[in-house]
Amino acid sequence: MLFQSAAILLALSASFVAAAPSPVEVEVLAPSPVGAPLAKRTTHVGTGTVYLQGGNAGSCGETNPDSAIIAAIGNFWMDDESPGPYCGRLIQITNTGSNDGVGGDGNVVTVQVEDTCPSCGEGDIDLSVGAWDKLTNSAAFGTFEISWHFCNVDGQC
């Protein structure tokens, strides 16, 4: 009886050892530049302006029609690189006030970064005609006050 019990325990323990998981090699990827370095809700303020694509590729390498909902941000963000580290990132922009009769106060749009604006300050954004029209109710070109933030890397704004 003792021998039978010992044999059963030995058989059971062998089955647990055989079922023990073996190590698995996992490749850990470094985060892409698109995922850094800002918290998604840091709000920036500046001036919204408009630019024409003119059929030319932006600094992110894409050619977009003027009707595309895109934007250019300053060298402060793009680090004088082409493509810049924020290419493809989404930004949510709010029209916070108008200058020179530009309308659309309170309008909000989400744009994709597709270009660099060499003359833009840290808080300024140069908008495609499509983005301008949504934020200003298709007002004549000028400037207006904006607030904005980067959306997170999953596109949640």
31, part of any domain: no
Residue 32 region by backbone torsions, left for phi larger than 0, else alpha for psi between -120 and 50, else beta: beta
Check pLDDT > 80 for residue 6: no
Query: Quick one: what percent of the chain has pLDDT higher than 90?
Result: 55
The answer to whether residue 6 is domain-embedded is: no
Domain count, the chain: 1
| Ordered DSSP codes for 75-131 | HHHHTT-SS-TTTT-EEEEEEEEESTT---TT-EEEEEEEEEETT--TT-EEE-HHH
Residue 97: which pLDDT band, with cuts at 50, 70 and 90? confident
With a cut of 50, say whether residue 21 has pLDDT above it.
Answer: no
Is residue 17 in a domain? Answer: no
Range of the domain at 112: 36-150
CATH number for 103: 2.40.40.10
Is 43 contained in some domain? Answer: yes
Q: Is residue 55 part of a domain?
A: yes
Predicted confidence (pLDDT) per residue in 28-75, tens digit: 333 444 544 444 478 999 999 999 988 899 999 999 999 999 999 999
Identify whether 90 is part of a domain: yes
Residue 80 pLDDT grade (very low, low, confident, very high; cuts 50, 70, 90): confident
- Within-domain flag for 156: no
Is 67 contained in some domain? yes
